[in-house]
Structure formats: C-alpha cells, structure tokens
Amino acid sequence: MCCYYYDAPKEYYQTAIEAVHSLPIEPAIGIEKLLTNYFEALVNHDKTRKARIVQDLKETGYYSIIRDIDNQEKGC
C-alpha cells in the first residue's frame, strides 16, 4: 500500500496537521510535532524540507520511526 497518502484528499489530513501545529511548544510533544512536519513535507512534495527532517531524525536516533515510510517513498 505504497504512497496511499498521495491519493487522499487534503482535507483528510489537513485538520490534524493544523491541530498539531496549534499545540504549545512543549518538549514532551516535540517529536510528534517534528513527525507532523515530516508528513506535511511528504504530502506537499517538499523534498528539501523532508530531507532536512530525515537528517535531524537520523542524527538524534529517531529515524527508525519513519524508516519504512522513507524507504517506501523512494519506490513511489
């Protein structure tokens, strides 16, 4: 089921993205906000932003969270 998010209407996920962006700056939810930024870059085809986030995740040891998505993305 590779790249299912490309076919989803923007309204399907936009509300969730906006909700996460509206949350306060709080260390306890920092990774969730970063992952939301990753997904937003992914669906907006922003390769530069996505690559920057992937690099940050790799440097901090959190890349495994999105590894499968990132690898599928390369095959889409």
Q: In Å, what is the CA distance from 3 to each residue of 24, 25, 53, 63?
A: 30, 30, 19, 19
Q: What is the pTM of this model?
A: 0.80
Instruction: State the residue for tokens 């998010």.
Output: 5
CA distance 22 to 5: 22
- Band of pLDDT at residue 52, cut at 50, 70 and 90: very high
Residue 36: is its pLDDT beyond 50?
Answer: yes
Identify the CA nearest to 39 among candidates 27, 4, 60.
4
Tokens of 59: 């440097």
67, pLDDT greater than 60: yes
Residue range 8-30: mean pLDDT, rounded: 89
